[in-house]
Chains A and B, each alone.
Chain A
Amino acid sequence: MTALLVALIVLTIVLGLTIVFRPRVTRHLGGRAVAFLAMFVLPVLALAGGAANHMERSKTTAFCISCHEMQPYFDSLHVDESRHLPAVHYQNRTIPREKACFTCHTQYTMFGDIKAKMNGLKHLWVHYMGTIPDKIELYEPYNDRECLHCHQGARPFDEHPQHIASREKLADGRLRCFSCHFNTHSIGSLHRLKRWTPPEGK
């Protein structure tokens, strides 16, 4: 996909440069058609393709941690502690490592991805133009829906004795996922926790 996009951009640049240095080519009908292609159709396609490419890459873990304030959150994925929720998900590959942040921090609703992207734009604005807050917090309490998107219907979830015992409370919201699974990123105590080092190249 990226190769195709690069080819499209290179072709547009070559045609564009032809018009810059030899605008006379547009005096003929064929030249005018090429100009329309090079200066309207291809650039619009290149911009749309580029935007889609960037949107897709903005879901990657590498993109999220390119802002220094996110580094502790990435470090927390390497905590060697079986009850540390983000670390267990990351290390056991229950979420894709290359999209670790986005997988848990998007909303699994119709416009969830768009909302996540709009929030991401706000984050970029604050990162480059504003003041980064000392404590980074979620916009709203973490919704169980995001956990259940993967866990609901899964055998380990459905057959867990405590989940069976508290099924009604879970269903009517009296009990939430974080009522029991409260070990999240724990940024404050990160320095005290042992780290897991992934094997080379993993």
Chain B
Amino acid sequence: MRLLPRSFENRLRVSAGLIVTGLLIALPTLFWTHAMSFMLFITVSGALTGLGVLVYLVSLLRHLVVAEHQAPPAEPPTTPV
């Protein structure tokens, strides 16, 4: 099995870190009925989690594109005799 490039794993870690941080902030806001809690959820938690998801999708896309380019060339078709 071909190993995934290191940079892809790093991007996954960054993405997961952003999502975890965003959700850790979101958790207490669910128990606090206050205008500030709403603002925290929308601006900080929403932005961090959204950014994490975006980084994941972009890195996934980039990884797929790179994998496509690195694929071995197809065998030339054999000419019939």
A residues bordering B, Cβ < 8 Å?
A: 2, 5-6, 9-10, 12-13, 16-17, 19-20, 23-24, 26-27, 35, 38-40, 43-44, 46-47, 50-51, 53-54, 57-58, 60, 62-63, 66-67, 124, 127-128
Contact = CB atoms under 8 A, between A and B. Distances in A.
Interface in B16-42: 16-17, 19-20, 22-24, 26-27, 29-31, 33-39, 41-42
A26 B56 contact: no
Nearest to B22: A43
Contacts, number: 107
B62 interface: no
Nearest to A70: B35
26 contacts: A6-B27, A9-B23, A9-B26, A13-B27, A16-B16, A19-B16, A20-B20, A23-B10, A23-B16, A26-B9, A27-B1, A39-B12, A39-B16, A39-B19, A40-B56, A40-B57, A43-B22, A46-B23, A46-B26, A50-B26, A54-B29, A54-B42, A58-B38, A63-B35, A66-B34, A66-B36
A43 B19 contact: yes
- The prevalent SS among residues of B at the interface is helix
